Structure 1
Amino acid sequence: MARSLRLQVDEQILDRAAGLFARHGFAHTSLKALADAVGLSKPGLLHHYPSKEALFEAAVELGRARSAQVLERSERLPLGVERDRRAVELLVDFALARPGLIALASRAISTLGADSDIDPRDQGLDGIDRLVFAIFGVDHSTEDTERLVRVVGMLSALAVLSLAANHGDVNAVWRPHIITTCLDALGHRGPGRSPSDLSQVEA
């Protein structure tokens, strides 16, 4: 039980830290700001993670692990509308629970092809971008530009909406609408479909 509680606390710390890293980048996120965000003193935070670098790496690793889980569960279905829907549902649930980690994944996508003066920790974020693209069967070198743009747009919308939902404590109410918006971004909203059509998650 104690181990489970510790893991939950660690995830909460990493999620809040990930949100700051996503917003400001590694270089411009101070240890004091991180400690304030997670509700600890600097010595308290350093008790959990010995440095800002260690905290960043742990957040990236958790984001990568969760993205890999979504990929594993999504790739049971062939590429297509049903896989996109399943992946979006899984990502939305993850994003509503851990919006900072989704924001960090979104930053991974947004820094692709960035100038070389961007901190290397913010470029690619150790493969999160590749995992997220793999969920939807694309990579950043694909010739299918429309699909690439739609996936990037979907992830960006997901990051913004999940953060807004968490600030307003409206996760349950917003969830079906976020799913619909993300599927819209991927080009899958059919005529006459209502948000409630998408509210049932596969068991």
Structure 2
Amino acid sequence: MPRPTKQQIEDEILETAAALFARHGFKETSVQRVADAVGYSKTGLLHRFPSKEALQEAVIERALADLRAISAEAAALPVGPERDRVVITGVAQLALDRPGAVALLLSSLTSAPEGETLHQFGEAVFAAFGIAGDPACVTEHDLPRMIRIVGALGAVAVTSVAMHDKLTPVALADIVEVSYDALGHERPKK
């Protein structure tokens, strides 16, 4: 069995830390807990990330980079059904590839309504759907769409976290369809 690369080790640490931060909160997740979960020594973990704050920052930056990549993929499309499907598909794929990141996003929605992390996640997510600006400054005109977006994301996040051990490409496609339906677009006629 080949030895993992530095990038693979870092990916494992960040994904595990994201899941632990989501489950236990930042304050209750120690560096030792992360080290134990990935099978490394605390010293080895601190060699890569010099503090718990540095680890948290790396986890958040990676999750934001993932969301921004999804946004960039959709940016050339006009706001509407096609763009929404690209974003929902990207978030669903992220849930399959990095369930810890999606769990962290979900936990930030439920536990830190005033937190900077939520604000950053919110801006990145709504930008992907073509809504620019501060999500906290929603107008009455934008509110129904934003509610549908949050519902669609909730469908992806909750389903993928609750059923992570059963996620297959077929199941992922079903999650995309359920989430897409929450956006209120008509399905293409077959």
Smaller-chain TM-score bracket: 0.7 to 0.9
1:24 aligns with 2:24: yes
- Distance in 2, matches of 1:112 and 1:141, equals 17
Q: Deviations over 1:60-98 (max 9, x none)?
A: 111111111111111110000110001111111122100
2:147 pairs, out of 134, 140, 149, with 149
Q: Once structures 1 and 2 are overlaid, which stretch shifts more, 54-63 or 184-193?
A: 184-193
In the other structure, the counterpart of 1:167 is 165
| Counterpart contact for 1:108–1:123, Cα < 8 Å | no
| Counterpart contact for 1:154–1:182, Cα < 8 Å | yes
* Residues 104, 132 of structure 1: alpha-carbon distance in 2 compared, 3 angstrom cutoff: same
In the other structure, the counterpart of 1:179 is 176
Unmatched runs of 5 consecutive residues or more in structure 2: none
* Residues 55, 47 of structure 1: alpha-carbon distance in 2 compared, 3 angstrom cutoff: same
RMSD: 2.5
In the other structure, the counterpart of 1:97 is 97
Letter of the 1:185 counterpart? A
1:188 aligns with 2:185: yes
* Structure-to-structure mapping, 1:1-203, within 5 angstroms: 5-111=5-111, 113-114=113-114, 122-125=115-118, 127-138=120-131, 139-143=135-139, 144-168=142-166, 170-188=167-185, 190=187
Q: Deviations over 1:75-133 (max 9, x none)?
A: 1100001100011111111221001112222334445644xxxxxxx543572221111
- What SS does structure 2 have at the residue aligned with 1:140? helix
Q: Calculate percent identity across the aligned residue pairs.
A: 40
The alignment of Structure 1 onto Structure 2 pairs a total of residues equal to 183
- Distance in 1, matches of 2:36 and 2:152, equals 30
| Counterpart contact for 2:13–2:34, Cα < 8 Å | no
| Counterpart contact for 1:108–1:129, Cα < 8 Å | no
- Distance in 1, matches of 2:52 and 2:119, equals 16
Letter of the 1:178 counterpart? I
Unmatched runs of 5 consecutive residues or more in structure 1: 115-121, 194-203
Letter of the 1:141 counterpart? C
